[in-house]
Structure 1
Amino acid sequence: MWERAVRIMSKEALLIIDMSNDFVSDDGSLTVGKPAQSIVPAIIETANKFLANNQVVAICMDEHEENDPHFDLWPAHNVKGTYGQKLYGKLSEWYEEHKYNKNVIYVGKPEYDAFFGTTLDEELKERSVTKVHLTGVCTDICNFLTAYGAYARGYKTVALKKQMATFTENHELFLEHMEIVFKTEVK
């Protein structure tokens, strides 16, 4: 009986990872470009379904200070408050329309893993989330490491492979790694 009650009350969350101008726009400083742009409509459609079903949508956005040591590894990107750090295109419009919904969360993240150094875990637990669905960029960096962050905190994970993109040839390889290592369901 108790297990059934927990299952009924538990929720799922869609994590939209790093879909910023710097990572998606043609002129972004570290852009995935067209592959990332092409997944935007599907992410919006999924986000709408999640909200219609009283589920959670979390925007997990890379954000850095101007002189972040992270820029020793990568070109400057997603500097707090800049155009580059804002959500890309129609995703920005979607967020503006839904940002006051109690099931929409915005989490700035200092590292690849959306759980590391953020309030994401607490926000999801407050809303009784037990499973997270991963979308966004990059499959082999932030999505993969966020899958680990979720797994390490006891969440079940789902990778929406047609709603992820990367600038390398490693998309399929890292989806396979998520499935093998974190027992991620790949859809």
Structure 2
Amino acid sequence: MRALLSIDYTNDFVATDGKLTTGEAGQAIEQEIVAMTESYFQQGDFIVFAIDGHDPSDQYHPENRLFPPHNVIGTSGRDLYGSLADFYQANQAKKNVYWIDKRHYSAFSGTDLDIRLRERGITELCLTGVCTDICVLHTAVDAYNLGYQLIIPEKAVASFDATGHTWALNHFKNTLGAKIV
């Protein structure tokens, strides 16, 4: 069994005026992310939207010292970007579509993601979204440590740091044994 994780593909991370945007790099992967999401969905696979959610007044969250406020709960910056938002709107009530609010880089940290995957017998994860070298990377490391097989579609991940993006793709393949497609 397999699942597709859509990580942080939101207005704040992708739109030109996003608070912490990947800009053109993130916008360029929209069509591939949507096509892959629709394909996995049509095959009955589990689709997980793992979306960063922040409260800028949370004085204990380390990201508040590292990055400007982004993906603030209750703002349009946290909405899914582009036509992925349309997919979610049309399918959010389906049993194989799940939304996780995440507080940390990894979709596994402090969430019930591992439980949701294991109860469905999922062993293979396809990771899409942004940022390749931050949230996608940290999710991949946790997934690897939990024993999941990883697929990373090169045309469905992006970062605002081209060097970090390339490094992360190599790390996925050479250190985590991920299949890069």
- TM-score tier after normalising by the smaller chain length: over 0.9
Q: Which moved more, 1:170-179 or 1:102-111?
A: 170-179
Partner of residue 129, structure 2: 136
Query: CA RMSD for the aligned pairs?
Result: 1.0
Residue of 70, 80, 86 corresponding to 1:87: 80
Cα deviation, residue 61, structure 1: 0.4
Cα deviation, residue 123, structure 1: 1.2
Cα deviation, residue 126, structure 1: 1.8
Query: Over alpha carbons, which structure has the higher Rg?
Result: 1
Partner of residue 167, structure 2: 173
Aligned ranges for residues 32-181 of structure 1 at < 5 Å?
Answer: 32-68=22-58, 69=61, 70-169=63-162, 170-181=164-175
Amino acid at match of 2:87: W
| Separation of aligned partners in 1, 2:56 and 2:137 | 26
Partner of residue 182, structure 1: 176
Cα deviation, residue 172, structure 1: 1.8
| Separation of aligned partners in 2, 1:82 and 1:38 | 23
- Counterpart of 2:156 in 1: which secondary structure? strand
| Separation of aligned partners in 1, 2:119 and 2:41 | 17
Amino acid at match of 1:178: F
Q: Percent of aligned pairs with the same residue?
A: 39
Partner of residue 5, structure 1: none
Amino acid at match of 2:167: L
| Separation of aligned partners in 1, 2:142 and 2:79 | 24
| Separation of aligned partners in 1, 2:155 and 2:94 | 26
Where structure 1 has 5 or more consecutive residues not aligned to the other structure, the ranges are 1-10
| Separation of aligned partners in 1, 2:98 and 2:55 | 21
Cα deviation, residue 97, structure 1: 0.3
| Separation of aligned partners in 1, 2:111 and 2:34 | 24
| Separation of aligned partners in 2, 1:177 and 1:43 | 21
| Separation of aligned partners in 1, 2:41 and 2:171 | 29
| Separation of aligned partners in 2, 1:172 and 1:98 | 33
- Counterpart of 1:81 in 2: which secondary structure? coil
Where structure 2 has 5 or more consecutive residues not aligned to the other structure, the ranges are none
Aligned residues: 177
